[in-house]
């Protein structure tokens, strides 16, 4: 039985890279009919951010990543918050001390910093704990303990030899033990470090495969030696390629949106995000890129995970989101865009039937142009308000033309009398005006569009006119007459 886990720490908004890791684990579990476990690694009180756990969990839910065990759902290995498992880590850490595989260290942070500074000054290749407390005699330890000195528990790394493992993505990797120092397992506040808590919980929760970011590879000697010291068989490891920004540096805020709540706010679709994230380091092996959750689950395999870093470019995500928006049923699109229109103040929070119908009529007109749901207000504002931006250059270009006054007058006259006021009818009479004026279609269509929406681009004109409705159209055309007069 495959059992994988996603183990975020609630230290901020969930980062895309992190969610990508969650997604790979989830897909892997679903592919194998295994279990997906969420475990909250809240062992750093200093970096704890209130509300971030909720943001993480809701991001998972938004993407459709449900968990079989974890917060809110419980499970056979509860609790799933490491802060509630302190006794376990304590017990194990002290057991290792008793077995001579770990030791208490009384060095203060200041002492350690001084030590590192000295090492750096001496040109050390890497700073390393010099193991001074490893050499303490039992009597010395006892004395310090009795005088109430705080201590951490450090793991005794082997001084020689190597550890190796077979990474499911990178293959066999070997490390020399002497290059890793005696790392802290249990902090002086009684909380475990990642290394201890992670290893202990992965074992206790019977995790079979650990899929995490490449930045953890360098911790493998610690983890491997810990497993060995505990007499436990390590799970399989698969280290995923890192997500980088376009400048090849670790993806961060200056590269644009990086946290999931922000992507959601911007109006990315869950399906698009899922699809894109799945392709961040994985591919199905053929040319397909648009893939459903079901297809991804079916095709997923660790062998097809790339081992080079993935540069996260928003433009492809944006394209994919546009694709998914175009595929949306109209009703769904309307439903998804509504909150954005409301937030922009274009549509009231509580709407009557007429407004609802109007929104439903108008939103699909710009469906193929939308890349983000948040594009809706910008694209559709003129349908809801008279306070929309006007392209002055376009007005200047068209409203100096000699046929405009007549055109407006004629349009107003015919539209006013037109019944029913529908796109085909509107097109028919508009074409009559074009013929009557003896101008090209565009010479009427463009200035009319400007008169009605303030811009040169927009939905198909006749449908737009029908949707706007006769009163609004007539009013805006009359308004345009005033502009012409003013020239």
Partner RNA sequence: GGCCCCAUGGUCUAGCGGUCCAGGACGCCUGGUUUUCAGCCAGGAGGACGGGGGUUCGAAUCCCCCUGGGGUCACCA
Catalytic residue positions? Answer: 253
Q: Are 359 and 341 in contact (CB under 8 A)?
A: yes
Cα distance between residue 216 and residue 211, in whole Å: 10
The helices-and-strands tally (H runs, E runs) of the chain is 20, 11
Least Cα distance to 255 among 315, 184, 335 occurs for 315
346-381 CB burial, b ≥16 within 10 A, e <16: bbeeeeeeeeeebbebbbbbbbeebbbbbbbbebbb
**To the nearest whole angstrom, how small is the minimum distance from the Cβ of residue 289 to RNA?**
5
- In the complex with RNA, which residue's Cβ is closer, 58 or 119? 119
**To the nearest whole angstrom, how small is the minimum distance from the Cβ of residue 215 to RNA?**
3
Beta strands, E only, 177-327: 184-186, 209-213, 236-240, 243-244, 310-311
DSSP string, 265-288: HHT--HHHHHHHHHTSSB--SSS-
**To the nearest whole angstrom, how small is the minimum distance from the Cβ of residue 219 to RNA?**
5
Least Cα distance to 204 among 95, 86, 77, 82 occurs for 77
Cα distance between residue 11 and residue 53, in whole Å: 8
- In the complex with RNA, which residue's Cβ is closer, 359 or 447? 447
Q: In what order do the strands lie in the sheet with 102-105?
A: 102-105, 152-155, 184-186
- In the complex with RNA, which residue's Cβ is closer, 26 or 462? 462
Cα distance between residue 19 and residue 6, in whole Å: 9
- In the complex with RNA, which residue's Cβ is closer, 310 or 383? 310
**To the nearest whole angstrom, how small is the minimum distance from the Cβ of residue 485 to RNA?**
26
CA distance to 21, 200, 475, per residue, from 87 (Å): 29, 12, 74
Q: What is the dihedral of CA 294, 296, 300, 306, to 10 degrees?
A: -170
- In the complex with RNA, which residue's Cβ is closer, 107 or 359? 107
Cα distance between residue 310 and residue 248, in whole Å: 9
- Contacts for 114 with CB less than 8 Å, ≥ 6 apart: none
**To the nearest whole angstrom, how small is the minimum distance from the Cβ of residue 108 to RNA?**
5
Cα distance between residue 174 and residue 161, in whole Å: 10
Angle in degrees, CA 408, 413, 418, rounded to 5:
120
Q: Are 437 and 410 in contact (CB under 8 A)?
A: yes
**Peptide bond connecting 322 to the previous residue in cis, omega within 30 degrees of 0:** no
- In the complex with RNA, which residue's Cβ is closer, 167 or 342? 167
Upper half-sphere CA count for residue 250 (Cβ side, 13 Å) = 6
Least Cα distance to 96 among 220, 182, 205, 207 occurs for 182
- In the complex with RNA, which residue's Cβ is closer, 177 or 270? 177
**To the nearest whole angstrom, how small is the minimum distance from the Cβ of residue 352 to RNA?**
29
**To the nearest whole angstrom, how small is the minimum distance from the Cβ of residue 285 to RNA?**
5
**To the nearest whole angstrom, how small is the minimum distance from the Cβ of residue 14 to RNA?**
11
**To the nearest whole angstrom, how small is the minimum distance from the Cβ of residue 152 to RNA?**
5
- In the complex with RNA, which residue's Cβ is closer, 351 or 421? 421
- In the complex with RNA, which residue's Cβ is closer, 187 or 470? 187
């Amino acid at each position: 039985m495959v059992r994988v886990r996603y183990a975020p720490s609630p230290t901020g908004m969930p980062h895309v890279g992190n969610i990508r890791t969650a997604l790979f684990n989830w897909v892997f579990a679903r592919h194998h009919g295994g279990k997906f476990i969420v475990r909250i690694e809240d062992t750093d009180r200093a970096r704890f951010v209130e509300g971030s756990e909720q943001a993480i969990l809701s991001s998972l839910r938004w993407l459709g990543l449900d968990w079989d065990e974890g917060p809110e759902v419980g499970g056979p290995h509860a609790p799933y918050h490491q802060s509630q498992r302190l006794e376990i880590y304590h017990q194990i850490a002290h057991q290792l001390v008793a077995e001579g595989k770990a030791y208490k260290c009384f060095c203060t942070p200041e002492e350690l910093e001084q030590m590192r500074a000295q090492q750096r000054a001496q040109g050390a290749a890497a700073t390393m704990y010099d193991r001074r407390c490893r050499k303490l005699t039992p009597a010395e330890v006892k004395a310090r303990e009795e005088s109430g000195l705080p201590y951490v528990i450090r793991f005794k790394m082997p001084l020689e030899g190597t550890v190796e493992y077979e990474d499911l993505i990178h293959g066999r990797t070997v490390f020399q033990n002497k290059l890793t120092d005696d790392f802290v397992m249990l902090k002086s506040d009684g909380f475990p470090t990642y290394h201890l808590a992670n290893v202990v919980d992965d074992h206790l929760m019977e995790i079979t495969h650990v899929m995490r970011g490449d930045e953890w590879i360098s911790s493998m000697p610690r983890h491997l030696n810990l497993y060995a010291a505990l007499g436990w068989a390590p799970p399989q490891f698969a280290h995923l390629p890192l997500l980088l920004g376009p400048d090849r540096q670790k993806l961060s805020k200056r590269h644009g949106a990086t946290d999931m709540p922000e992507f959601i706010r911007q109006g990315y679709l869950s399906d698009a995000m899922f699809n894109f994230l799945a392709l961040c380091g994985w591919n199905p092996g053929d040319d397909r890129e648009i893939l459903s959750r079901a297809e991804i689950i079916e095709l997923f395999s660790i062998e097809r995970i790339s081992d080079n870093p993935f540069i996260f470019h928003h433009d492809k995500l944006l394209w994919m989101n546009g694709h998914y928006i175009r595929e949306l049923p109209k009703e769904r699109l309307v439903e998804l865009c509504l909150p954005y229109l409301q937030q922009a103040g274009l549509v009231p929070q509580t709407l009557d039937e007429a407004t609802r119908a109007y929104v439903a009529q108008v939103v699909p007109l710009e469906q193929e142009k939308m890349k983000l749901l948040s594009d809706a207000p910008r694209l559709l504002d003129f349908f809801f308000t008279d306070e929309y931006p006007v392209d002055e250059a376009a007005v200047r270009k068209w409203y100096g033309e000699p046929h405009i006054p007549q055109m407006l007058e004629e349009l107003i006259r015919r539209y006013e009398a037109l019944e029913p006021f529908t796109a085909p009818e509107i097109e028919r009479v508009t074409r009559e005006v074009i013929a009557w004026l003896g101008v090209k279609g565009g010479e009427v269509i463009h200035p009319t569009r400007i008169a009605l929406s303030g811009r040169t681009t927009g939905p198909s004109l006749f449908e737009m006119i029908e949707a706007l409705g006769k009163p609004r159209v007539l009013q805006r055309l009359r308004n345009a007459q005033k502009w012409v007069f003013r020239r």
